[in-house]
């Protein structure tokens, strides 16, 4: 049996000013050469564990804490661990330091005093592996989120390590980048490297030898991924969800169509469904159907009580100072039109085109998926729509008013934007003050602002009583993302622009956010959703705009016999569309949710 490369016994860690431990008596061992997946809800301690293993956080207490033979309880041991352990942060911007992509990839090698020729060879190898050759002289701040992620990962993998810790390595990547990273992990695993992957993507858990589920800083489960997904009560309590195939299977089970084994992949689901095998002889499936059978019907987060911000269904919520508690979702959304918009970034006097003659229209109250590969211009387009960037050519029209006209500023105040990186819009001393900032700028009374803050924090799952006094930067990545959304929702926008809102959210929070967005759309808010999560977009959006190289590759109705054809080379088909195709059904008529799929299949 391989020796342990990591040993943690009763390890604790607490952030300054926070009442509870982020790691609360954690016990964990990792064998040399093992690939370990770490899962758990937002705030469970996953990123804290990653930083501790890399020697970047000092345990508050612990009997044993070693990584690669280095004692993490001592300053000298943590310094030694940083040479042996490579880490990819949850936010890649936090580890991009050089002026150009090529220099950033080479930065660690230069600090280790590698010979110049070796540095050039290794850097070229990493640039090629992560498709960064064409960006080698690009300034990192001009990269898309996915390109930043690939650059940071290339820099981490450039240095040979004994232990590699990856915190949400695929969160911001398009389909090609996602596959490239997972293939790199598989190669490293085959080479014998020890890998720890922190992930919220349940489809990725199966590539690990073992999975550890954290909750409130402690290990709640440890074992094979199949055993974890066989304990549905635990899965639901930890807000983990299942791979998409498993969710469809559970929905089928509610309707009496059981499979011999809980499928975790599309191929397993198709094979089990087509075989018509209704036996329940497999122990995993028995566990799912047995003590936790009530969890099979849990769908309350997607379709239960309203749970929205304060205000009745019929009340109005103007963006000017209201006389009563504001209704979060106005009856009438805002129509948007983009007419021949082009935009280029300035890189040392050289224009770098990001948008090229983009045109499309969004109706009031529509939900539109903005899709395309990393670097296709999605984030830039959202900032142009919000008026943060001025187009070089063309114009944006909001509710019939063009940007730059006399009434444009009033229209812009009714458009909310949630950035891809939530830290960019969090700046106050407490979470509650951060959410209150926008409503106060709109001139609302103190009572109305307080009510809006209370309701907005509640709807995103950060109740004010528990999170209001917390500093925004003491929150986990997923909690920061939800707080940024609360700050925008509190202002009652008529149009909501979201840039990768599902990144870093646990599956439970992702489901709840989807439910919130569904309610927004149902009440008339116009929503434009830029994302690589095509399954979430498919569930919410009926219209699509696909960008490629800054140009519109497709726009129109998404799905249905009259829908536009989306190039699978640019955007992979949603899981349910591919399931319908594999079953020989009409892909254009694929359902939007697992529940709808099960209803149609039975």
Per-residue pLDDT at 307 exceeds 50 = no
Centroid of chain to Cα 326? 29
What pLDDT shows up at residue 556?
Answer: 96
Single pTM value for the model:
0.83
**Residue burial 344-362, b: 16+ Cβ < 10 Å; e: rest:** beeeeeeeeebbbebebeb
Integer Cα distance of 162 and 3 in angstroms: 13
Q: Which residues pair with 371 in a beta bridge?
A: 546
Tens-place pLDDT, residues 463-477: 999 999 999 988 887
Question: Residue range 107-126: average pLDDT?
Answer: 94
How far is 460 from 465, CA to CA, in rounded Å? 13
State yes or no: pLDDT of 296 exceeds 50.
Answer: no
Helices (H) and strands (E) in the chain, counts: 22, 20
For the ranges 103-107, 257-261, 526-530, the lowest mean pLDDT is seen at 257-261
CB 565 within 8 A of CB 571: no
User: So what's the pLDDT on residue 1?
Assistant: 52
Q: How far apart are the first and last CA of the chain?
A: 47
Q: What per-residue confidence (pLDDT) applies to 178?
A: 85
pLDDT for residue 81: 95
Tokens of 588: 């254009």
Residue labelled with tokens 């093992």: 34
Given this model, what pLDDT does residue 94 score?
85
CA trace torsion 35, 41, 45, 49 (10° rounding): 10
**Tokens describing residue 383:** 């900032």
For the chain, give the percent of residues with pLDDT over 70: 90
Range with lowest mean pLDDT among 96-100, 297-301, 506-510 = 297-301
b/e code 453-466 from CB counts within 10 Å (16+ = b): bbbbbbbbbbebee
According to CATH, the topology of domain 336-571 is Rossmann fold (3.40.50)
Average pLDDT, integer, range 68-79? 96
pLDDT on residue 277: 56
**Hey, what CATH class is 4-229 in?**
alpha beta
pLDDT tens, position by position, 397-449: 999 999 888 788 888 889 999 998 877 889 999 999 999 999 999 889 999 99
Confidence of residue 293 (pLDDT cuts 50, 70, 90): very low
- The arithmetic mean of pLDDT across residues 297-325, rounded, is 33
332-349 pLDDT, tens per residue?
A: 789 999 999 999 998 878
* Average pLDDT for the chain: 86
What strands, in cross-sheet order, belong to the sheet with 543-548? 415-418, 495-499, 526-530, 367-371, 543-548, 551-557
pLDDT of 359-401, one tens digit each? 999 999 999 999 999 889 999 999 999 999 999 999 999 999 9
Q: Where are the domains of the chain?
A: 4-229, 238-303, 336-571
- Write the pLDDT tens digit of every residue in 535-544: 999 999 999 9
Average pLDDT over residues 583-602: 92
Question: Residue 79: is its pLDDT beyond 70?
Answer: yes
Range in 292-296, 411-415, 526-530, 567-571 the model is least confident about = 292-296
Residue 318 has pLDDT above 80, yes or no: no
- Does residue 328 have a pLDDT over 50? no
Task: Report pLDDT for 299.
Answer: 36
pLDDT for the residue 105: 96
CATH topology agreement for domains 4-229 and 336-571: yes
- Note the pLDDT of residue 44: 93
pLDDT at 142: 85
């Amino acid at each position: 049996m391989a020796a342990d490369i990591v040993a943690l016994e009763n390890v604790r860690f607490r952030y300054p000013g926070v009442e509870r431990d982020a790691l609360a008596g954690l016990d964990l061992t990792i064998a040399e050469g093992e690939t370990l997946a770490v899962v758990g809800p937002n705030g469970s301690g996953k990123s804290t564990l990653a930083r501790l293993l890399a020697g970047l956080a000092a345990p508050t207490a612990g009997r044993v804490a070693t990584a690669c033979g280095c004692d993490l309880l001592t300053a000298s041991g943590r310094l030694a661990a940083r040479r042996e352990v490579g880490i990819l942060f949850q936010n890649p911007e936090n580890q991009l330091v050089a002026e150009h992509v090529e220099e950033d990839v080479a930065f660690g090698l230069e600090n280790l005093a590698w010979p110049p020729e070796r540095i050039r060879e290794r850097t070229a190898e990493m640039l090629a592996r992560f498709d960064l050759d064409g960006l080698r002289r690009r300034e990192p701040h001009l990269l898309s989120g996915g390109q930043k992620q690939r650059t940071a990962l290339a820099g981490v993998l450039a240095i040979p390590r004994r232990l590699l810790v990856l915190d949400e390595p695929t969160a911001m990547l398009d389909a090609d980048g996602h596959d490239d990273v997972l293939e790199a992990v598989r190669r490293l695993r085959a080479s014998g490297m020890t890998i720890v992957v922190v992930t919220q993507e349940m489809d990725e858990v199966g590539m690990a030898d073992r999975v550890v589920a954290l909750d409130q800083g402690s290990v709640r489960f440890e074992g094979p991924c199949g055993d974890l997904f066989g304990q549905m009560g635990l899965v639901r309590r930890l807000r983990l969800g299942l791979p998409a195939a498993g969710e469809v299977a559970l929905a089928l089970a509610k309707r009496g169509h059981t499979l011999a084994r809980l499928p975790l992949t599309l191929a397993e689901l198709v094979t089990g469904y087509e075989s018509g095998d209704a036996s329940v002889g497999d122990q995993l499936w028995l566990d799912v159907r047995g003590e936790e059978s009530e969890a099979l019907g849990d769908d309350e987060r997607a379709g239960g009580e309203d749970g929205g911000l304060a205000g009745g269904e019929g009340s109005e919520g103007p963006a000017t100072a209201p006389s009563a508690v504001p209704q979060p979702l106005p009856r009438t959304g805002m129509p948007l039109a983009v007419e021949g918009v082009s935009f280029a970034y300035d890189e040392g006097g050289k224009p770098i085109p990001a948008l090229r003659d983009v045109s499309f229209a969004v109706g009031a109250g529509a939900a539109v998926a903005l899709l395309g590969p990393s670097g296709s211009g999605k984030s830039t387009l959202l900032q142009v729509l919000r008026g943060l960037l001025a187009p070089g050519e063309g114009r944006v029209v909001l509710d019939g008013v063009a940007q730059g006209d006399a009434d444009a500023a009033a229209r812009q105040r009714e458009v909310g934007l949630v950035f891809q990186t939530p830290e960019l819009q969090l700046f106050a001393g407490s979470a509650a003050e951060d959410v209150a900032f926008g409503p106060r700028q709109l001139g609302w009374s103190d009572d109305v602002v307080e009510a809006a803050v209370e309701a907005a924090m509640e709807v995103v799952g950060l109740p004010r009583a528990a999170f209001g006094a917390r500093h925004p930067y003491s929150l986990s990545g997923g909690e920061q993302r939800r707080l940024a959304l609360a700050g925008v929702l509190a202002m009652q926008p008529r149009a909501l622009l979201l840039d990768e809102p599902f990144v870093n959210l646990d599956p439970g929070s992702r489901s709840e956010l989807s439910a919130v967005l569904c309610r927004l759309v149902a009440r008339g808010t116009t929503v434009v959703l830029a994302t690589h999560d095509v399954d979430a977009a498919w569930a919410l959006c009926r219209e699509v705009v696909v960008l490629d190289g800054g140009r519109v590759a497709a726009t129109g109705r998404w799905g249905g016999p009259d829908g536009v054809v989306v190039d699978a080379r640019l955007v992979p088909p949603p899981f349910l569309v591919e399931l319908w195709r594999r079953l020989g059904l009409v892909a254009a008529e694929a359902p939007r949710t697992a529940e709808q799929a099960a209803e149609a299949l039975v």
